[in-house]
Structure 1
Amino acid sequence: MTVGGPERQVVAAPLPDILAPGLAVVFCGINPALSAAAAGHHFVARTNRFWRAVHLAGFTPEEIRPENDRTILQYGCGLTAVVGRATARADELSARDFADAAERFEGKIARAAPRFVAFLGKAAYAALVDRRDLAWGPQAATFGGARPWVLPNPSGRNRAFSLDQLVCAYRELQRALHRTGSHAES
């Protein structure tokens, strides 16, 4: 994959997962942004509200800087993306991208064995389970052995949700973790 204009093409390595066995929750983006793949860190765009939302929702005691993204493991949380291919916008992905990623992604979640898998936006989970009528929040069926939860996408491009609405939605997952006895230590 390349990043930059025609005069400055930089090959970006795939964005590494931040996973460990038995986490409380794995947050799953749709796919990496070009900027994240180029930097080698999750949610690096200044307009992305992920780090702020997870902090304000109680997953982390402070707001993690993207370059310190691996520290999220200390709080029982992990990070991955459903589709590994980085794009400028998630709508650049095709149904084929999700179909090609489905089995590998579900296996990755099964191996990591988190208590919850939190999909950041409906698009990826809807494509994986072949359903369009999804509600926000907890889902009925397990996914890779984990309990799926659909959260609003924190991308700065997603203006349908304010930061306060994101925090409220993410806090519901944090409360569910506490209720089930599997929570991030904060």
Structure 2
Amino acid sequence: MSNIIHRLPDQLRPNLRLVFVGTAASTRSAELGHYYAHPGNRFWRAIHESGITPRRYQPGEFAELIALGIGFTDLSKSGAGMDHQIEAASIDVPGFKAKIEKYRPRTIAFTSKKAASLFYGKPSAAIALGRQVRDGSLPEIFVLPSPSGAASGHWTIEPWRELGAWIGRAP
């Protein structure tokens, strides 16, 4: 990997319905500047099939989702690669919590158990998929299986559908 600092811009504004939170941009996403850009990534198909978006968007259209009340960020804004390649020092949980406090989204969805485990400070094995037990100081939180092609062995769309049903009911 090169020394270039890879950044995907946060796509955030106050009171979004939903913010997707990854660990860090994939190398491909960082190169293209689009969230979930690798052709093998299931993200865009999953959010459409689960009813979160009205059509299947392409990675280059990620900025258009803000009009639907959907935002994006990552726990690491300076690292890029697969979860196991991200340097621990680049993970900024306090910075992420500050963004949540500032923008106050109604729901956040971690797009991997790894991202959720970093947020909660627990091992991935201790994190359940789906809607999490509510902590009154935080938005509703969902943990989704990684849509990355590299995580195919753990893929299931059910938690994505649970999120889609919740978003459809949420005020």
User: Higher mean Cα deviation, 50-59 or 73-82?
Assistant: 73-82
Give TM-score scaled by structure 2 length: 0.89
Residue identity matched to 1:20: R
Distance 1:97 1:13, change over 3 A: closer
Q: 2:66 is matched with which residue: 61, 73, 83?
A: 73
Alignment size in residue pairs: 169
How far the C-alpha of 1:77 sits from its partner, in A, is 0.9
How far the C-alpha of 1:2 sits from its partner, in A, is 2.9
CA offsets per residue over residues 60-101 of structure 1, 9 Å max, x none? Answer: 111111111101112221111111133332101244433xx0
Q: 1:58 is matched with which residue: 51, 66, 70?
A: 51
Q: Quick one: distance in 1 between partners of 2:59 and 2:30?
A: 12
> Percentage identity across aligned positions?
30
1:88 aligns with 2:81: yes
1:135 aligns with 2:128: yes
Residue identity matched to 1:169: P
4+ runs of 1 displaced by more than 6 Å?
A: none
Q: Which runs of 5+ in 1 are unaligned?
A: 4-10, 182-186
CA contact 1:24–1:177 (8 Å) conserved in 2: yes
Distance 1:143 1:15, change over 3 A: farther
SS at 1:173's partner residue?
A: helix
Residue identity matched to 1:67: G
CA contact 2:23–2:83 (8 Å) conserved in 1: yes
CA contact 2:19–2:70 (8 Å) conserved in 1: yes
Larger Rg: 1
Query: Alpha carbon RMSD of aligned pairs, Å?
Result: 2.0
CA contact 1:95–1:127 (8 Å) conserved in 2: no
CA contact 1:33–1:89 (8 Å) conserved in 2: yes
Q: 1:31 is matched with which residue: 24, 27, 30?
A: 24
Give TM-score scaled by structure 1 length: 0.82
CA contact 2:8–2:33 (8 Å) conserved in 1: yes
How far the C-alpha of 1:50 sits from its partner, in A, is 0.4
Q: 1:15 is matched with which residue: 8, 18, 37?
A: 8
Residue identity matched to 1:30: T
Residue identity matched to 1:122: K
CA offsets per residue over residues 141-179 of structure 1, 9 Å max, x none? Answer: 4397312110111001011244xx22x221101212233
Q: Which runs of 5+ in 2 are unaligned?
A: none
